[in-house]
Amino acid sequence: MSDIRNRLASLSPEKRDYTLKHAPRHLAKAGKAGELYRCLTNFDFIEAKISAVGVQSLVKDYDLAFNPDIILSDEKGKLFRLIQGALRLSAHILDRDKTQLSGQLWGRLLSFDIPDIQALLEQAKQGKVSPWLRPLTPSLTQPGEPLLRTITGHADSVMALEIVPDTNWLISGSDDRTLKIWDFQTGKELKIFTGHTAAIRSVAATSDGRLIISGSKDTTLKVWNLKTEEEVFTLKGHSDKKGTFFHNSHQSCQCCGSSTKR
């Protein structure tokens, strides 16, 4: 075990947790750019933090370097973005299996010929005691490419998407008969709506972000209250499966309202 792992292991659980969660924030508020850099480019810290509090809170730590009180060279700033990007791309894998960290970093960062990146990968290699598959070529999506993040969680095809206006919320409708609400910035699943008895084919949100409407192959439309997570009402009447309905946020709501009166 490395010295840092040993030291972390010897701390009280309270202090270890506090360190992993909050050291970067305190360093940033203290204006200690060098130490912040040291922390967030250290494989042992990265690994311990992911295992204690998950990937997303670590991904956010790299943003601390871009607050105006922190003076980091362009070169180091770029390197921060690379590591952050690699972790964000790996998040859905690491959420399920934290031992994939070394392989993920190798597969995504190997091609960057920057001494501190190579040092990080070397640390990652040395940290491995059990057998692992080490990519020899940069075989995974690299940071800096168009793909930023993969979100997983549906058990079947995703057929419909909608972003709730003025929020980070993404609604997805799937063949698994559920609707899910995600924070697309963090990849976190926020809510799940169940009730449809067949695949969901289309979703829409009202412009005030209060209601969402889903259309399903079960021949119903359902209107949901996003806040209370309740099904507001179900609209029946179609005899064939729903395709996509046209909407212009507000209008679609009015359209639903009038159907209920019928």
Partner 1 sequence: MTVEEFVTQLANKSENNFMYLRYVLPDIADGKYRNLSIESLPQGLQDYYEDHWRRMGMFDKESKRTKIKIVYVLAELREPVSRELIAEFAGEDAFTVQEVLDEWQQFLHRDKFNGETRYSVYHSSFCDFLSRKDIVQAAGVTLQDINARISDNLMQGMFGDE
Footprint of partner 1 on this chain (CB under 8 A)? Answer: 3-4, 7-8, 11-12, 14-15, 18-19, 21-23, 25-27, 29-32, 35, 38-39, 45
User: Smallest gap, in angstroms, from Cβ of residue 17 to partner 1?
Assistant: 9
Nearer to partner 1, 3 or 74 (CB): 3
User: Smallest gap, in angstroms, from Cβ of residue 47 to partner 1?
Assistant: 13
* Long-range CB contacts for residues 46-54, cutoff 8 Å, separation at least 24: 46/83, 46/87, 46/101, 47/98, 47/101, 47/127, 48/4, 48/5, 48/8, 48/20, 49/20, 49/21, 50/94, 50/98, 50/101, 51/98, 52/16, 52/17, 52/20, 52/21, 53/17, 53/20, 53/21, 54/95
User: Smallest gap, in angstroms, from Cβ of residue 52 to partner 1?
Assistant: 12
Six-digit token string for 187: 């990849």
Nearer to partner 1, 19 or 186 (CB): 19
Nearer to partner 1, 70 or 171 (CB): 70
Nearer to partner 1, 11 or 71 (CB): 11
User: Smallest gap, in angstroms, from Cβ of residue 143 to partner 1?
Assistant: 26
User: Smallest gap, in angstroms, from Cβ of residue 67 to partner 1?
Assistant: 13
CA-to-CA distance for 149 and 18, rounded, in angstroms?
27
- Does an H or E element contain 201, and which? strand 200-205
Nearer to partner 1, 83 or 211 (CB): 83
